[in-house]
Structure 1
Amino acid sequence: MGKTRNQHHIIITGATGMVGEGVLMQCLNSTEIDHILVINRKPCAYTHPKLKEIIHSDFFDFSAIENQLSGYNACFFCLGITSVGADEETYYKMTYTLTMHVAQTFSKLNSDMTFCYVSGAGTHANGRLKWAQVKGKTENDLTKLPFQQVFNFRPGFIKPLPGQKYAHPFYQYINWLFPIGRTIYPNGFCTMAELGQAMINTLSHQEERRTLNGKDIIALAKE
C-alpha cells in the first residue's frame, strides 16, 4: 500500500489583490491542496468546493473569528500595500504591525504551520530605502515566531496568470517585456504560476527558514 500524503489545509490573505489572487488560482488547481481559507475585507468572487471565505474587516483584531483559524498547516500571506503615496507611519502599520499581528495569531493557533510571506525584490533591513527597511524588519521578525517553517519570498516582476481579475491593467501593456527581462536578469522575473507553485512546494520541506529571491523561487517551483 502506498504512503498517504499529509492533508494540506492553508490560509491565504490578500486574495483580492493580484499576487493573492494568482496564488489562490494556483492552489485551487493543485491536487496537493485539500482545503483553502481566504480571509478578505471584501468577497474575492471565487467559488470552489475546497474554498471557504471569511469576510472580516479588521485584521488587527481576529477575536470574532479566532475559533475558525486553527487546524491549518500553512499561511500564504499576500496582503500588503505599496509604499508609493503612503506616509511612513501608515506604511509601517500596514506592512510590519499588521503582518506581525496576523502571524502571531496564526502561530499561536497552529504550531505546525508553514508561513510564506510575500516581501519584494530589494528588501533589506539595512537598506537605504525606508520601505526596504520595514520589509526587512518584517522578514527578520517573522523568522523568530514559533512556526514550523518561514519562507520570505522576494519576487520582482511577476507575470500574471491568464484570466486574473485583479491584475494591474498596465500588465497587459508590458507583458511583452517579460521574456526579454527574464533572459537578461532572470533573478528579477518570475511567473505567478511559479510563485504559487513554489509556495505549495514549501509544504514538502521540513523545519526551514529561508529567504527566496527570483532564481530561488523558480527553482523551488520546479521541485
Structure 2
Amino acid sequence: MTSLNELRAFIVGWTGACGEALSKELAKNNHFKQVILIGRREVKLGEDDPRSKFQQAVVDYDNLEQSRDVFKDCAVGFMTLGTTRGQAGADGFVKVDYEYTMNAAKIAKECGCKQLNYVSSQGAHKDSMFLYPQTKGKVEHELTQLGFDQLFIHRPALLLRGEKSRGVEKLGHILMKPVTAFKPTWNQIRVEDVARSLMAKSAEFGKGNKTEILSNALMHEAAKSLEA
C-alpha cells in the first residue's frame, strides 16, 4: 500500500482560516512528499516558517483551466476555499463556494486526484431555503457525482478562529459559552481541529472506496485520533 509520504497533495484556499491551519499542521511533519498551496496570490513566508518548504501556486480561479498542471499527480486534495455572503455578496459567495470549488474539484479529478477532503458546513443541504447551507449542500451532492475513490465531507459547526474570528462568530461563541462549557464539542470547533480532522481522514488513503460525511462531533473524534 502506498504511504502518505510518497504522495503529493494540494490545498485549495490555503490562506483562509481552515486552509491556513491545515498548512501549518502539515508543515509540522512529513505527512506528504510534497504539498501544493493553491491561491490567488503569493504569500511571503519567512525562512523560519516551516511552510516555506511547500510550493505555492498562484492561480486565476476565473480561468483555472489555464493552471490545471498545478493539480497534476496530486493524489490527495483538500478543498478549504470559502467566503461569506457578508464579505462577497450573494453572487460572490456562490461564485467562490460553488463555482470555484467545483471547477477545482473537477480539474483535480481529471488530473488524477484519488481522495478529496472538502470543508462544508453543519446543516448543509442542497434543498435548504437558505443560501449558505443550500450552496454547501449542492457542492456536497455534486462532488459525490465526480467519482473520487474516497470523498470525505467535513461539516464543522461554529468555527473558532482565535484572533481571526468574525464578528458574528465572536458573538455566537459568547452566547454559546454556557452550553459549550458543559459539552465543548457540541456546536463549535477550533480551526486547528478542523485541520487535524482533515489530516486524520487523509491517512485513510487507499483503504477502500467510500464517501463519508463527518459531523462536527465526528470531526472532534477524528482530530483526537490524530493526536493519539
TM-score after normalising by structure 1 = 0.83
Q: Does 1:25 align with 2:24?
A: yes
* C-alpha deviation, 1:49, in angstroms: 5.3
CA distance in 1, matches of 2:128, 2:156: 17
Q: Does 1:208 align with 2:206?
A: no
Q: Does 1:50 align with 2:49?
A: no
Name the structure 1 match of 2:78: 76
CA distance in 1, matches of 2:155, 2:181: 15
The count of residues paired between Structure 1 and Structure 2 equals: 215
Q: Does the C-alpha gap of structure 1 residues 104 and 172 become closer, same or farther in structure 2, counting only changes over 3 Å?
A: same
- RMSD in angstroms over aligned alpha carbons? 2.8
Task: Kindly indicate which of the two structures has a greater share of residues assigned to helix.
Answer: 2
* C-alpha deviation, 1:69, in angstroms: 1.9
Q: Does the C-alpha gap of structure 1 residues 38 and 78 become closer, same or farther in structure 2, counting only changes over 3 Å?
A: same
> For 1:109-160, what per-residue CA distance to the aligned partner results, in whole angstroms no more than 9, with x for missing partners?
0142x11111112211222312211110111110111212111111122333
* C-alpha deviation, 1:17, in angstroms: 1.6
Q: Does the C-alpha gap of structure 1 residues 85 and 13 become closer, same or farther in structure 2, counting only changes over 3 Å?
A: closer
Q: SS where residue 123 of structure 2 aligns?
A: coil
Name the structure 2 match of 1:195: 194
> For 1:41-64, what per-residue CA distance to the aligned partner results, in whole angstroms no more than 9, with x for missing partners?
1223335353000112x2132343
Where in structure 1 do 4 or more consecutive aligned residues deviate above 6 Å? 171-179
> For 1:141-191, what per-residue CA distance to the aligned partner results, in whole angstroms no more than 9, with x for missing partners?
101112121111111223337xx7xx2465789877669526346232222
1:9 touches 1:72 (CA, 8 Å); kept in 2?
A: yes
* C-alpha deviation, 1:65, in angstroms: 2.5
Identity of aligned residues (%): 20
Name the structure 2 match of 1:105: 107
Q: Does the C-alpha gap of structure 1 residues 29 and 172 become closer, same or farther in structure 2, counting only changes over 3 Å?
A: farther
CA distance in 2, matches of 1:172, 1:41: 27
- Output aligned runs, 1:10-159, within 5 Å: 10-46=9-45, 48=51, 50-56=53-59, 58-84=60-86, 86-112=88-114, 114-159=115-160
CA distance in 2, matches of 1:140, 1:182: 34
* C-alpha deviation, 1:4, in angstroms: 7.6
Q: For structure 1, which runs of at least 5 residues remain unmatched after alignment?
A: none
